[in-house]
Amino acid sequence: MRFLIVVVAAATMAAAMPSGVAQADDRPRQRGAAASPAPARGGMVRVSSPDEAVDLALRRSPLVGSAEAATRAARGELRQAGLLPNPELSVTAENAAGTGQYRGARSLETTAELRQRLEVGGQRAARVGVAQSEVALAERELLAARLDLVRDVRKALADAIAARRAVAIEAERARLAQETLRTARERVQAGRDAVLQERRAEVVLSTAELGRQRAERMAELALRVLATLLAADAVELSRSDRWFDQIGSAPDGAGAPQPEEAGANPDFARWNDALQRAQAALELERRRAVPDVTLGLGVRRYRETHDTAMLLSLSVPLPVFDRNQGGIARAGAQLSQAEFAADNARRTIATSLGQARAQLAIAWREANGLRRSVLPAAEQAFGFARAGYQEGRFAFLEVLDAQRTLFEARGQLNEALREFHMRRAEADRLAGVPNLPTQSAGDRR
């Protein structure tokens, strides 16, 4: 049995060496990963600009961390796809514990055989190709997830700033309504106006207070949405929000986007990667139709004569019934499905980009017009009406109309600025414009 012990030990060491090397390579990575703490989440965060909010979100977002983990999983699958099949060791003892001349171990025949399955037909290369396309697709998914987060954070921050300004507008409306009510009471007490004017002023004040309360609740909801995207318990906005008023020059919203412009969208490349993945999967299924070959080499020991003989074996499955017809048909259909989906997605993305640019231009023109002409005119008209009412030259209804016009203009400008930032975030996402930080939550772990 000495030869058997030697064969078993050699085969075991040969099979264990690649695994041992892999484990040795993995240990530094595992230690490094354990040494890096996970990014802190929760608590209170302070945001002063869109760039700061985006940086916080990319470092703290669980969604981005999940996409990065999926990318690492795809790389692990690629590593696994390139490995050779493990050899098989078999030990057989024959003619043992029988009767007559086979009693005990007198006629024992012991065989030790080492088998190795050989993948023929390029299966291993095809499998690696599929895994490589999976890695590329996962990386595109990660980029798309980060860009989606950037868009959502910019939208949520613009919504929060607009909601806070709406609170200020409604508070100013309530303050002016209070002043108007005080003036109306003075005029009623002096006998210059009827009591009806005072009641109207009270109604205006009550309406303004209700509007202020509603705006405060909407502002709280907007902050909650932003806090969710930032993986925080609460968000504190900086007092300075001058970036919200900066809309730049007029964007070009005319014409359909050029192919190279739409091609900057990472979703285009993602669909190309999906097509390559489907093509690689079809090639793999075709390769799997070729059966593998198993070679065996062994040693047989005859105890009765103390002779030793070599064993050679070859095993090849006969592709009589299963030639992977179903797998090839499935992969071919999935490739066709991916081609149709990619063509539809490309058309949809190009159309969406054109619409987003047109809507951005419309939002810019509205915000620019309200800021440059409508709001100044409304402020001037209200100032004249209030001063004239105090002097008795205008009726109370004219003051109320001018006040309503003023605050409608302020609210429209606030909403137009919000809409502009929303549309710009959407257009940038579709065009793949945002410059992302080089590190994020998963990269820093």
pLDDT digits (tens, 9 = 90+) for 44-74: 889 989 999 999 999 999 999 999 999 999 9
Among residues 384, 386, 365, the alpha carbon closest in space to that of 376 is found at 384
The whole-angstrom separation of Cα 157 and Cα 51 is 10
Most confident of 92-101, 155-164, 251-260: 155-164
The whole-angstrom separation of Cα 166 and Cα 218 is 9
CB 118 within 8 A of CB 295: yes
The pLDDT score that the predictor gives to residue 263 is 59
> With bands split at pLDDT 50, 70 and 90, how would you rate the model's confidence at 97?
confident
Range of lowest pLDDT (32-41, 148-157, 378-387): 32-41
> With bands split at pLDDT 50, 70 and 90, how would you rate the model's confidence at 387?
confident
The pLDDT score that the predictor gives to residue 157 is 95
Pairing state of beta strands 44-47 and 234-237? parallel
The CATH homologous superfamily to which domain 2-21+47-84+119-289+324-431 belongs is Outer membrane efflux proteins (OEP) (1.20.1600.10)
Domain limits, the chain? 2-21+47-84+119-289+324-431
What backbone phi and psi angles, to 5 degrees, belong to 87? -70, 160
| pTM for this entry | 0.77
CB 378 within 8 A of CB 315: no
**Between residues 420 and 433, which one has the greater pLDDT?**
420
Is 157 in a helix, a strand, or coil? helix
The whole-angstrom separation of Cα 108 and Cα 111 is 10
CA 255 to chain CA mean position, Å: 30
CB-based contacts of 332, cutoff 8 Å, min separation 6:
282
CB 313 within 8 A of CB 295: yes
Partners of 46 in the β-ladder: 236
Range of lowest pLDDT (21-25, 156-160, 279-283, 314-318): 21-25
Report whether pLDDT(27) > 90.
no
CB 71 within 8 A of CB 136: no
- At 355, list the tokens: 């619409």
CB 299 within 8 A of CB 112: yes
CB 115 within 8 A of CB 313: yes
Average pLDDT over the chain reads: 82
Alpha helices in 61-122 (DSSP H): 62-81
> With bands split at pLDDT 50, 70 and 90, how would you rate the model's confidence at 261?
low
Range of lowest pLDDT (15-24, 302-311, 355-364): 15-24
The sign one gets for the Cα dihedral 174, 176, 182, 184 is negative
Among residues 271, 267, 283, the alpha carbon closest in space to that of 337 is found at 271
Report whether pLDDT(323) > 50.
yes
CB 402 within 8 A of CB 381: yes
CA 151-154-157 angle, 5° bins: 145
pLDDT digits (tens, 9 = 90+) for 176-187: 888 778 877 877
CB 331 within 8 A of CB 281: yes
CB 232 within 8 A of CB 43: yes
Exposure pattern of 197-231 as b/e (b: 16+ CB <10 Å)?
bbebbeebbeebbebbeebeebbeebbebbbebbb
Report whether pLDDT(8) > 70.
no
